[in-house]
Amino acid sequence: MTDRSPLAPAAFPALPEIAGVTRRIARAHYKNWDRCDLTYVELTPGTVVAGVTTQNVCCSTEVEMCREGIAHGRARALIVNAGNSNAFTGYRGREAVEQIVDQVAAHLACDPREVFVCSTGVIGVPLPKDKAHAGVAKVISFDTPSASWEETAQTITTTDTFPKGAAASAVVGGTTVQVAGIVKGSGMIAPDMATMLGYIFTDAAVAPDLLQAMLSEATAGSFNAITVDSDTSTSDTVLLFATGRAGNPVLTTRDDPGADALYAAIRSVALDLAQLVVRDGEGASKFIEITVTGAVSDASAKRVALSIANSPLVKTAIAGEDANWGRVVMAVGKAGEPADRDRLAIRFGDHWVAKDGLPVDGYDEGPVAAHLKGQDIRVGADLGLGDGRATVWTCDLTHGYISINADYRS
């Protein structure tokens, strides 16, 4: 990993063990680095799975096959390869994934659709079948010790500067259930499902359709509400596994006792993980929350918020601690959504800098400048047109982003 992001938490959190989940890691040597880069998670028989995947039409074979497994609704294993995305690699890439699936399915004597494979890294290089086979042979061996959550979270990373994890719990039908998740992501981050690789695990017993509904809803306000650079990856996948080992009555509808509590825990973990990705945005020095209110609808508010969040001019101004609210006005106006210049209001932190289409009377830039010197920045725009609102999260744009991506394949 490169130098740790200044926005990183002090330490990796303590995550609970999830009954029915076993983690192992190994070195497949996909890149010339001195670290583990292959992750294996074995799941107890009967584990239910839900997932969301990238909408990028140039997606990888891994994404296509994950979709098939999600439709099947059951899971026995997860393999994550780091350092090579295996995207845009044609039949060679598919053969590599099929080899992994067959190898793990034979080991577990399970349906191949229950083996999920994800890969992340450089696009356009076929995953080396020999390295993948040897790496998988290591991690499915009972001689390989279990990995901690932190070790597992670090193994799935690429340009990340710190491993990312989050946890929550809920009471379902009188039973306490646990939720734990890890994620990797730092660049090529923009909402079009969930731009990174994320894995959430729970010991709750949940029907597949309900689990999918919970993940899709949680994604909208978390993984789909972040952006680093407006680019959506070819490999983005978030998977949610429910082992059912907690022993709660199986949840089948949102009206079941405890269903809302479980959803709240899943959403909490998803939001924490999504915000950690932004805090590790490539070259980031500031974490930015953008809230748009007064839009004609929530969907319109979100599109305006993303227009602000994705603006290089807004992001560089915040990087330079410049209270240039005119750039926010510009980003609102270019969003293609209903807006009225003479009703628009802009704020930084708690300080309104413009209202009704012009600077506020007696505007004092001092408090705004002080807010922009911090690491956690809040920007608000009220359109004055309706009740629609949305919040998204992003980071600033610095020279560090250019340096990381200019040297990415080196």
The full DSSP string for 337-380 is: S---GGG-EEEETTEEEEETTEEPTT--HHHHHHHHTSSEEEEE
Q: Which pLDDT value is given to residue 122?
A: 78
Q: Which pLDDT value is given to residue 55?
A: 73
Q: Which pLDDT value is given to residue 121?
A: 81
Strands (E) located in 281-330: 287-295
Residues 6+ apart with CB under 8 A from 20: 43, 44, 47, 203, 243, 244, 245
Q: Which residues of 342-354 are buried (b: 16+ CB within 10 A; e: fewer)?
A: eebbbbbbebbbb
Residue type, 388: G
The residue whose two tokens read 């005119």 is: 326
Q: Which pLDDT value is given to residue 281?
A: 81
Alpha helices by DSSP H, 109-144: 129-139
Structure-block tokens of residue 16: 């609970």
Q: Which pLDDT value is given to residue 17?
A: 97
Q: Which pLDDT value is given to residue 194?
A: 41
344 contacts 384 by C-beta, under 8 angstroms: yes
111 contacts 72 by C-beta, under 8 angstroms: yes
121 contacts 162 by C-beta, under 8 angstroms: no
Q: Which pLDDT value is given to residue 195?
A: 46
- Binding-site residue numbers for substrate are 158, 184, 195, 282, 405, 410
End-to-end C-alpha distance for the chain, whole angstroms: 14
- d(CA 340, CA 354) in angstroms, rounded, equals 13
Q: Walk me through the domains of the chain, giving residue ranges and CATH numbers.
A: 21-279 (3.60.70.12), 287-406 (3.10.20.340)
Of the candidates 187, 207, 204, 180, the one whose C-alpha atom is nearest the C-alpha of residue 270 is 180
25 contacts 147 by C-beta, under 8 angstroms: yes
25 contacts 40 by C-beta, under 8 angstroms: yes
Q: Which pLDDT value is given to residue 192?
A: 56
Q: What is the C-alpha R_g of the chain?
A: 22
- d(CA 306, CA 394) in angstroms, rounded, equals 9
Q: Which pLDDT value is given to residue 187?
A: 54
- d(CA 382, CA 385) in angstroms, rounded, equals 8
Alpha helices by DSSP H, 109-167: 129-139, 149-155
Query: Catalytic positions, please?
Result: 195
- d(CA 140, CA 160) in angstroms, rounded, equals 26
Q: What is the pTM of this model?
A: 0.91
12 half-sphere exposure, CB direction, 13 A CA radius: 19
- d(CA 308, CA 377) in angstroms, rounded, equals 13
- d(CA 362, CA 227) in angstroms, rounded, equals 34
The residue whose two tokens read 């009972």 is: 142
- Binding-site residue numbers are 158, 184, 195, 282, 405, 410
- d(CA 325, CA 136) in angstroms, rounded, equals 52
- d(CA 270, CA 192) in angstroms, rounded, equals 15
pLDDT along the chain (410 residues), means of 10: 84 98 96 93 98 80 89 97 84 92 98 95 88 96 90 93 97 96 74 70 98 96 83 76 97 97 98 94 90 98 95 94 93 96 96 93 91 97 98 89 62
